[in-house]
């Protein structure tokens, strides 16, 4: 389960990086209106990355507490 949380976290981070690249491309080569959509996408990816990271850390802490209780 921990690997799944970690993988989802990395996927959101990669998507956020792609969004940053697309914002730069649209600002330089195309119009600023197109860049706004990718900027919103980038912020959404950043938000989901932070949510997933927080969720993974809480899951790891709960799993560690369960393991300590068993001993």
Distance, in Å, from the CA atom of 51 to the CA atom of 66, rounded to the nearest integer, reads: 23
Predicted confidence (pLDDT) at residue 1 exceeds the cutoff of 70: no
Cβ atoms 38, 22 nearer than 8 A: yes
Q: What does 33-54 look like in DSSP terms, one character per residue?
A: HHHHHHHHHHHHHHHHHHHHHH
* For residues 6-10, average pLDDT: 88
pLDDT in tens, 10-66: 999 999 999 999 999 999 988 788 888 889 999 999 999 999 889 888 888 888 888
């Amino acid at each position: 389960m921990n690997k799944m949380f970690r993988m989802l976290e990395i996927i959101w981070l990669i998507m956020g990086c792609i969004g940053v690249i697309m914002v730069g491309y649209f600002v330089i080569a195309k119009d600023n209106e197109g860049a706004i959509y990718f900027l919103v996408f980038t912020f959404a990816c950043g938000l989901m990355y932070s949510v997933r990271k927080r969720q993974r850390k809480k899951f790891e802490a709960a799993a560690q507490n369960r393991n300590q209780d068993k001993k």
